[in-house]
Amino acid sequence: MNAEILAGKLVKGIAPNIDAKDLLNDKRKVFLFGSPSYTNIGDQAIAYAEEKFIKNHFPYYEYVEIMDYATEEGIKLVKEIIKEDDIVCFTGGGNLGSLYLEIEEDRRKVFEVFKDYKTISLPQSVYFEDTEEGNLEKQKSQDAYHKNRHLTIAARESQTLEVVKNTFNSNVIYTPDMVLSLDIVPKELKRDGVLFILRADKEKVTDEDFITDLMKWSEKIGPVDRTDTVLSEVDTIDYDEREKYFLEMLEKIGSSKIVITDRLHAMVFSIITNTPCLVFGNSYGKAKHSYTDWLDELNFIEYTDTQDIGELERLVEKLMKAEPNRVHLAEDFQPLKDFFKN
């Protein structure tokens, strides 16, 4: 394909991160499908971290993103330019399974179409509902994934590792969530108040009455605010705006005295910004297991299932008094480095 033909086939959302002409250079390509345009800042931060990971560790590869809304056209174009040695990725997150079917359907398509290429599902939490519909979707995913004998699935916590082993015949590797591969120095910000970051989606299990009690109780610490890591003030976040929104969320979290959340990435952003954080669960335990698998040595972050206000009060005080420590997870990404190396 020459540059002119290529230009005719490019649509918005294909390769927003590079000069289009570099689609045709000699470098080994790493294609990322499913790059999110929706406003979940957790998933945006994952895509941000994925790009850093490849660019820092493998600068000699050409990293090419395909936005989620351009999956169809992206598949068509990549089919024409992909070379034997290239690598196909689908972005990480907590959406592999039956809960986010639009994304799952794109993932199946990508794994099936590129079945002859080295393929990876970047670090995910996996959950198929134990219902008739959930089982049906699991079967569809198995059928699609199993056509690809070159597929590796990266599990980001131990619960998912077991699910993947029991569900798919694919290779499986085990690493933390991609956002934990970032090494951002926390900005020193003036802190005030308590920030509740709470789900409003199908994974929500925290009781609203309990939240109301907790918010009332929190007023003794300072002004109380409630938000979510899924933004509602914008409809989409495209590649160019990703860093801006991610950094704004870090700034918001880093300006709080403590975060109380049922969001995995609110916990992760709290770690990045040295912000004390109390974490409750979601419907299938992805925050809980990420915490117990990788993060339970952190003295300023704590997972809990209790709804006892007295117990929570003690926890919050402990977290706010801690001099934030660090866990070192760089080595835990070695399986992912090894995957991309070969």
Question: Which residue's CB is nearer to a copy of itself, number 100 or number 246?
Answer: 246
Distance CA 90, CA 123 (A): 9
Give SS3 for 93. Answer: strand
Distance CA 72, CA 91 (A): 16
> Is residue 168 within 8 Å of residue 136, measured between CB atoms?
no
Least gap, CB of 111 to a copy of itself (angstroms): 25
Q: Which stretch binds a copy of itself (CB under 8 A): 157-165, 184-192, 203-211, 317-325?
A: 184-192
Distance CA 197, CA 199 (A): 7
Question: Looking up tokens 């705006």, which residue turns up?
Answer: 241
Question: Which residue's CB is nearer to a copy of itself, number 32 or number 54?
Answer: 54
Question: Which residue's CB is nearer to a copy of itself, number 96 or number 237?
Answer: 237
Binding characters for a copy of itself, 225-264, by CB under 8 A (x = yes): ------------------x---x--xx-------------
Distance CA 83, CA 114 (A): 11
Q: Which stretch binds a copy of itself (CB under 8 A): 5-13, 56-64, 108-116, 285-293?
A: 56-64
> Is residue 295 within 8 Å of residue 271, measured between CB atoms?
yes
- Other C-beta atoms closer than 10 Å to the C-beta of 150 total 16
162 binds a copy of itself (CB under 8 A): no
Pick from 56, 135, 212, 236 the residue near a copy of itself by CB under 8 A. Answer: 56
Distance CA 155, CA 245 (A): 26
Pick from 9, 52, 76, 147 the residue near a copy of itself by CB under 8 A. Answer: 52
Q: Which residues contribute to the site for a copy of itself (CB under 8 A)? A: 52, 56-60, 182-185, 187-188, 243, 247, 250-251, 330, 337, 340-342
